[in-house]
Amino acid sequence: MTGALGDVAAMIHRHFLHLRRTPTRVLGVTLTPVTMVLVLGYMLNKVITVRGNGDYLDYMMAGVGAQVALACVGGIAIGTATSLRNGLIDRFRSLPTARASILVAHTVSDLVLAAIGMAIATAVGVLLGWRPHASAAAVLAGFAVLLAFAYVMLWLGVLLGLTVRSPEALGALAGLILVGGSFLSNAFVPLDGLPDWLRTLAEWSPISAVVATCRELWSGPVSFVDGSFPETHPMTTAVIMLSVIAAITVPLSIRAYRTAGT
């Protein structure tokens, strides 16, 4: 157990050194969310209305955090596929280390990147006037939910990188996940006015459950759909959905890593 933890720590240190040498990686997970804060939260804040005449900036900030998590999928997927293509993963697998530790270190180090991205996007929101109407513990709990979502999404990115393997295809897929996931949910658009079939699809999205949980913790505006279990029990829905996704992606990623290149 101690040896595995040492392997993870060593690999995390390597990833941090790489991040320090390429700080522009932060842009990959913050550029779109920060742009959304500036465009929607500042320029269109008074144009878009939410239930109860709530402030749209308050409504969208949880969605911005979820979007940072979605932006991480493409980065780790392309990085994994590139490492597989240039032989770096083969060199890692030749080392006397637990194979799962390499993937754990990769996801943990990128989770720190996600945390940095969320901090930057949140700082921009605060500068524009966003204030969570909840206790410090509830605010921290909301960010913990977002980080848990980010970590699950990172494992999804690892799995995509090990199975798709084409950086070009992964780039297109990452854009689809970022845009489609952001807008096919309650991240930025209240669900009340959507057509029934689209509303049902959006309200059962794990992104919607995560975002609704954060809004509930932060006492922000919500987008209720009458009789919708995910909207009335967002935390329960988020825990179940994220647990299921993790239970699928983590073992499949480890298996794909073991067989990669064989």
Please identify which residue in the block is written with the tokens 């952001």. 182
Count the neighbouring beta carbons within 10 Å of the beta carbon of residue 183: 15
Please answer whether residues 255 and 159 qualify as being in contact, where contact means their C-beta atoms are separated by less than 8 angstroms.
Answer: no
Q: What is the pLDDT of residue 11?
A: 66
* pLDDT tens by residue, the chain, 262 residues: 444 565 566 666 666 666 677 777 777 788 888 888 888 888 877 777 777 667 888 899 999 999 999 999 998 999 888 877 776 666 666 665 666 777 888 898 889 889 999 999 999 999 999 988 899 999 999 999 999 999 999 999 999 999 998 888 999 999 999 999 998 999 998 887 788 888 889 989 999 999 999 999 998 787 666 677 888 899 999 999 999 999 999 999 989 888 875 5
The answer to whether the CB of 202 falls within 8 A of the CB of 194 is: yes
pLDDT, position 115: 93
Tell me, what amino acid is at 245?
I
Distances (CA, A) of 244 to 5, 117, 216, 250, 256: 25, 25, 22, 10, 18
Helix residue ranges, H only, 132-233: 136-163, 167-183, 196-203, 206-217, 229-232
Helix or strand holding residue 35 (H, E): helix 25-36
- Residue 46 has what pLDDT? 76
Half-sphere exposure of 52 (CA within 13 A, CB side): 10
CA–CA separation, 232 and 240 (whole Å): 14
Instruction: State residue 1's pLDDT score.
Output: 46
